[in-house]
Amino acid sequence: MSATPKPAPRQLTGTVLLRDAAVNRDTAFSAPARETLGLLGLLPPAVETLPQQVARVMDNVRRQASDLDRHLYLRALHQRNETLYYRTVRDHLAETLPLIYTPTVGQACQEFSRRFQAPHGLYVAAQDRGRIRDILRRWPRPGVRVIVVTDGSRILGLGDLGLNGMGIPIGKLDLYVACGGVRPEACLPVLLDAGTDNTALREDPFYLGLRQPRLQGEAYDTLLAEFVAAVQEVFPGVLLQFEDFSNHSAFALLQRYRDQLCCFNDDIQGTGAMGLAGLYTALRLNGEPLTQQRLLFAGAGEAALGIAMMVTSALVAQGLSKEEARRRCWLLDSKGLVVAGRSDLAEHKRPYAHEHPPLLDLQAAVAALRPSVLVGASGTSQLFSEAVLRELARGHARPLVLALSNPTSRAECTAEQAYAFTEGRAIFASGSPYPPVQLGETTLVPGQANNAYIFPGLGLGLLASGATRVTDAMFFAAARALADQVSASDLQQGRIFPGQERLREVATAVAVRVAELAYAEGLASAPRPADLDTAIRALMFEPDYPPRP
């Protein structure tokens, strides 16, 4: 097993020690440590335990006026005391995740430059071409094993946010640590600043990115190629996760690099695995076979295609031909139903362009196709109108509705709408969280359909096995592992994903299956332990202050 090497203990003292988030303990420095480390007088006299510190942090989190303030408070804590930050998040996952990740991270990205406090991660800009290796070498912490990179061109459903997209790699890597048990020093967030086509941002006096239009074509490809080559040279064997790239580069990048290094695109592949897991679980609730499902996707971008491709593979595994399997998946984009006659279709949509008369709106498509599953991946708020949901419920006893778009302001419908307009028959999950809904005597608990259930465990499994590539079969295995984590009591409440407080347990289960596959496919570079489950659990980072001599 390939654990992240533990950094050598550093003998920092005094204020330098208190300012180093990796080793700072604030009020948890013991009395003898304060003597030997030059801390006398630099801290209030009380000596606290980590749980006492966590209690204060949560008290402060709850006192903040808004979720964005809570996010910023936690970010500042991350910069000051890493152990306390991760312990707080780990111990209060369900409460803190919506603050450090979706949905609050959406607003945090929109205001990233305005609310900027301190640098975190690496910024690689268009003008750095020719010296990207030097920039990567400048990263001070040894032991990097996973990089999450974005160019900010499609942040959640919020479009091009340029450099402000840095909130996403930071948030994703926080989940690698808090849920996947990857060590903090193994994580490196990177923002590739290729410019922005968001003119409002370019004119914002506080904007911190390049004030130029996005690089296009060859100039953009050259920047990416230099970045990927530099990553391979400076951090050999690293896992590279592409995140929130606009769909015209996301599919091409994945195609270009997936066979060259250990990399994946979370929006396409991670979402695909999460969506398939949700479908598997919904079928346990409505008792139907996968082969009888018809899916209609509102949106034909990365998320929709990722799920469509994963469902196609699952159907092929159950005996359908590829053509038959694809015909179970229908896409509708901003110009209407994706059909064979359309001349404006991007390459990635064509396999799903079936023979059908053109249809311009979603309600008409639902009426014509009678889907059993309606997936929202359009970034368009309220696209699942009352009329659409009623039409869906007319055609199916227990339709599955996935309103995946993030943040909450972009969700295709709320949980309440999905249940109310289908007389409580819809099986519902959404990308951003919604509270339980009371419908008559019944309380329905919407699950959160978020790829946070996939990538931390996937990453852990890849790192633990030292995998050299990420294969489709690994996502398939991750989907199965996630579906298996949904309990009978989750199902009873109508929840098709486990509760967020179980994310760490889910990540462990996903990691074991992914690592198993890496060994089975001959892609693992680490020696295989006798018991994968035990070995993976032993590798997982537990946020705690190490004992001091």
SS3 336: strand
Q: Exactly one of 180, 301, 498, 499 binds ligand NAD (CB under 6 A); which one?
A: 301
Decide if 458 contacts 433 (C-beta within 8 A): no
- Distance, CA of 36 to CA of 92 (rounded, Å): 33
State how far the alpha carbon of 460 is from the alpha carbons of 77, 183, 359, 464, 536, in Å. Answer: 25, 10, 43, 6, 8
Name the residue whose CB lies closest to ligand NAD: 301
Tally Cβ neighbours within 10 Å of residue 533.
14
Residue 371 makes contact with ligand NAD by CB under 6 A: no
Amino acid at the residue 245? F
Exposed/middle/buried for residue 340 (C-beta within 10 Å: 0-12, 13-18, 19+): exposed
Q: Which stretch binds ligand NAD (CB under 6 A): 22-30, 295-303, 312-320, 527-535?
A: 295-303
Q: Which residues pair with 331 in a beta bridge?
A: 297
Q: Where are the alpha helices (DSSP H) in 115-246?
A: 132-137, 167-178, 199-203, 217-234
4 vs 408, which CB is nearer to ligand NAD? Answer: 408
Task: Decide if 404 contacts 271 (C-beta within 8 A).
Answer: yes
Q: Where are the alpha helices (DSSP H) in 258-408?
A: 271-286, 302-317, 322-326, 362-369, 386-395
Question: CA angle at residue 269 from 264 to 275, to 5 degrees?
Answer: 155
Binding-site member from 37, 303, 307, 437 for ligand NAD (CB under 6 A): 303
Among 19-27, 449-457, 484-492, 530-538, the segment contacting ligand NAD (CB under 6 A): 449-457
Q: How many residues bind ligand NAD (CB under 6 A)?
A: 30
Is the CB of 324 or the CB of 347 nearer to ligand NAD?
Answer: 347
Helix (H, G, I), strand (E, B) or coil at 254: helix
Residues 464-523 interacting with ligand NAD (rule: CB under 6 A): none
Which distant-in-sequence residues (6+ apart) come within 8 Å of 82 by Cβ?
21, 22, 24, 184, 543
CB of 264 to ligand NAD, least distance (A): 13
CB atoms within 10 A of CB 366: 27
373 touching ligand NAD, by CB under 6 A: no
Of how many residues is the chain composed?
A: 549
Site for ligand NAD in 240-259 (CB under 6 A): 247
- Indicate whether 271 belongs to the interface with ligand NAD (CB under 6 A): yes
**Active-site annotation, residues:** 101, 172
Instruction: Name residue 332's beta-bridge partners.
Output: 298, 337
Q: Give, as ranges, the residues between 375 and 434 that touch ligand NAD (CB under 6 A).
A: 377-380, 383, 404-406, 410, 431
Which residue stretch of 151-159, 276-284, 462-470, 515-523 sits at the interface with ligand NAD (rule: CB under 6 A)?
151-159
Which residue in the set 13, 15, 60, 334 belongs to the binding site for ligand NAD (CB under 6 A)? 334
Tokens of 257: 């690099």
Out of 37, 93, 274, 512, the only residue in the binding site for ligand NAD (CB under 6 A) is 274
231 neighbors 225 (Cβ within 8 angstroms):
no
Using CB under 6 A, which of the segments 230-238, 372-380, 478-486, 516-524 binds ligand NAD? Answer: 372-380
Cβ 544 to ligand NAD, closest distance in Å? 30
- Of the ranges 152-160, 182-190, 317-325, 528-536, which one interacts with ligand NAD (CB under 6 A)? 152-160
Q: What's the rounded Cα separation, in Å, for the pair 159 and 22?
A: 34
Residue 191 to residue 41: CA distance in whole angstroms: 39
Q: Residue 157 or residue 181: which is nearer to ligand NAD going by CB? A: 157
CB of 451 to ligand NAD, least distance (A): 4
Task: Tell the smallest beta-carbon distance from residue 442 to ligand NAD (Å).
Answer: 25
Of 50, 68, 124, 156, the residue at the interface with ligand NAD (CB under 6 A) is: 156
- Please give the structure tokens belonging to residue 498: 């486990």
* Structure tokens belonging to residue 532: 């994968």
| 157 touches ligand NAD by CB under 6 A | yes
Phi and psi angles of residue 287, each rounded to the nearest 5 degrees, phi first: 70, 20
| CB of residue 445 to ligand NAD, shortest distance in Å | 17
Q: How far is the CB of 157 from ligand NAD (least distance, A)?
A: 3
The window from 121-129, 142-150, 301-309, 455-463 that contacts ligand NAD (CB under 6 A) reads: 301-309
Contact status: 299 vs ligand NAD (CB under 6 A): yes
In the complex, what is the shortest distance from the CB of residue 547 to ligand NAD, in angstroms, rounded to a whole number?
39
Q: Which of 311, 332, 437, 535 binds ligand NAD (CB under 6 A)?
A: 332
CB of 254 to ligand NAD, least distance (A): 12
Rounded CA-CA distance 432/456 in Å is 18
Nearer CB in complex with ligand NAD: 24/110 = 110
Contact residues: ligand NAD, CB under 6 A: 154, 156-157, 247, 267, 271, 274, 298-304, 332-334, 377-380, 383, 404-406, 410, 431, 449-451
